[in-house]
Amino acid sequence: MSDVKKVVLAYSGGLDTSVIVKWLQETYNCEVVTFTADIGQGEEVEPARAKAQALGVKEIYIEDLREEFVRDYVYPMFRANTIYEGEYLLGTSIARPLIAKRLIEIANETGADAISHGATGKGNDQVRFELGAYALKPGVKVIAPWREWDLNSREKLMAYCDEHSIPVDFSSKKKKSPYSMDANLLHISYEGGILEDPWAEAEEDMWRWSVSPEAAPDQPTYIELTYEKGDIVAIDGQAMKPHEVLEALNKLGGANGIGRLDIVENRYVGMKSRGCYETPGGTIMLKAHRAIESLTLDREAAHLKDELMPKYAKVIYNGYWWSPERKMLQAAIDATQENVSGVVRIKLYKGSATVVGRQSAESLFDESIATFEDDAGAYDQKDAEGFIKLNALRLRIAAGKGRKQD
């Protein structure tokens, strides 16, 4: 293990990663560089500096990546209307490639020959971090303590802290949420505790970002989202940066009980996992983006996007953001967004986000053709007869041959 001289650790400042710092120092006799990313998790990240210093860390990186996260990862994903297995908006999945990228960049900057993370050997995140790392630096060594040590319980972690005088100032030493949670600007996830029973309903006090639909206001909230080339650039006419858009939509959606999800998903490592998610802003964004596309996208381009989306979602969920197939899919998706501009009006009310209006200078909706009133000759209904007969030709031939149709 002497070949490892310096390691860059994805460091939250919490119990697990604080133990990992000391464990790396002792097990590998190496220098540890910590990297803490603010991607909108809603907690102060600066306290991680003092915790790292107390553990003897000399090189400490604490960075605000919120704008890059939404601009370069969340927005491109939402251009594809991405959902995994019909429901999951990929809040955790989409954050991992950015963290992996910065881990590798910091390793290059500091001359480190390894990176480390706190993901367990059961989950998807180990795959996502490491696939990203290997794609960006093929020869990097990855250290995953949860796959090496025997500290496989909270009690053992706390005992390790006591034995090694690791400063644990967390109130969690006295009281800990029963859930394993992960948060960023796109979502907050909950696993563990009673959620390990798929039949058990999540407790109301578990949710952090949203009120229950029953407790949401009795009056709806209307908002208007302005799109340019597939991305939201303003809310109610006020220009905003991507991360500001998502922050605002999270507050608006959460206040109206929007974005709660309870699912059993198929992890890449093979097991099924039950999790709950809060994605208020993302839920609104998905609904609104499909609305502006319905007005501006060609039919076949829209349908092809819908066919590509499950593949794109699987690529992201499984950790292949830096793969050639994701880049190829992204290029195709982005090419469809050139004319996806306009305004969508959304009604937020007791857990639902409903599209109630959409308009665009790039609209392909032609009222003179679509109208049920007199169209003044814009559309000749007689043309439909030949269209139908030609499309029915193969069916008519088969029926004429006596082919069974049931």
CATH code at position 136: 3.40.50.620
Note the pLDDT tens digit of each residue in 335-375. Answer: 999 999 999 999 999 999 999 999 999 999 988 888 888 88
Q: Is the pLDDT of residue 173 over 60?
A: no
**Cα–Cα distance, 314 to 317 (Å, whole number):** 5
**What are the catalytic residues?**
16, 96, 125, 180
Q: Is 15 a known ligand-binding residue?
A: yes
pLDDT given for residue 172 in this prediction: 45
In percent, the amount of the chain with pLDDT more than 70 equals 97
DSSP string, 358-400: EE-TT----HHHH-SS--TTSS-TTHHHHHHHHHTHHHHHHHH
Within a domain: residue 192?
A: yes
Q: Is the pLDDT of residue 174 over 50?
A: no
Within a domain: residue 302?
A: no
pLDDT given for residue 370 in this prediction: 85
Q: Is 256 a known ligand-binding residue?
A: no
Residue 245 and residue 344 in one domain = yes
Q: Is 17 a known ligand-binding residue?
A: yes
Q: Which of 176, 193, 215 corresponds to the end of one domain?
A: 176
**Cα–Cα distance, 229 to 51 (Å, whole number):** 43
Residue 30 and residue 135 in one domain = yes
Within a domain: residue 155?
A: yes
- pTM metric for this prediction: 0.94
**Cα–Cα distance, 301 to 174 (Å, whole number):** 55
Q: Is the pLDDT of residue 152 over 90?
A: no
pLDDT given for residue 171 in this prediction: 43
Within a domain: residue 169?
A: yes
**Cα–Cα distance, 363 to 342 (Å, whole number):** 8
Note the pLDDT tens digit of each residue in 106-144. Answer: 999 999 999 999 999 999 999 999 999 999 999 999 999
The average pLDDT across 101-110 equals 98
Q: Is 277 a known ligand-binding residue?
A: yes
Closest CA to 44 of 14, 8, 81, 89: 14
pLDDT given for residue 374 in this prediction: 85
Residue 211 and residue 239 in one domain = yes
Are the C-beta atoms of residues 93 and 84 closer than 8 Å to each other? yes
Domain span including residue 383: 367-398
Q: Is 120 a known ligand-binding residue?
A: yes
CA dihedral 154, 160, 162, 163 (to 10 degrees): 160
Within a domain: residue 136?
A: yes
* Tokens read off for 28: 């590998």
Q: Is 237 a known ligand-binding residue?
A: no
CATH of the domain at 288: 3.90.1260.10
Within a domain: residue 319?
A: no
Q: Is 93 a known ligand-binding residue?
A: yes
Q: How many other C-beta atoms lie within 10 A of the C-beta of residue 281?
A: 28
Q: Is 88 a known ligand-binding residue?
A: yes
Q: Is 11 a known ligand-binding residue?
A: yes
Residue 149 and residue 128 in one domain = yes
The average pLDDT across 270-288 equals 97
Residue 38 and residue 144 in one domain = yes
SS3 7: strand
Phi, psi (rounded to 5 degrees) for 14? -85, -175
Q: Is 339 a known ligand-binding residue?
A: no
Residue 165 and residue 248 in one domain = no
Give burial (CB, 10 Å; 0-12/13-18/19+) of 148: exposed
Within a domain: residue 323?
A: no
Q: Is 124 a known ligand-binding residue?
A: yes
Residue 350 and residue 255 in one domain = yes
The average pLDDT across 92-113 equals 97
Q: Is 16 a known ligand-binding residue?
A: yes
What contacts 263, CB < 8 A, 6 or more positions away? 85, 87, 88, 274, 275, 276, 277
Residue 200 and residue 283 in one domain = yes
pLDDT-based confidence at residue 153 (cuts at 50, 70, 90): confident
**Cα–Cα distance, 21 to 52 (Å, whole number):** 8
pLDDT given for residue 169 in this prediction: 61
Residue 194 and residue 272 in one domain = yes
Residue 354 and residue 375 in one domain = no
Q: Which of 122, 149, 176 corresponds to the end of one domain?
A: 176
Within a domain: residue 322?
A: no
Tokens 């900057």: give the residue: 109
**Cα–Cα distance, 171 to 144 (Å, whole number):** 26
Q: Is 157 a known ligand-binding residue?
A: no
Residue 109 and residue 10 in one domain = yes
Residue 146 and residue 192 in one domain = no
Tokens 């605000």: give the residue: 64
Mean pLDDT of the chain: 94
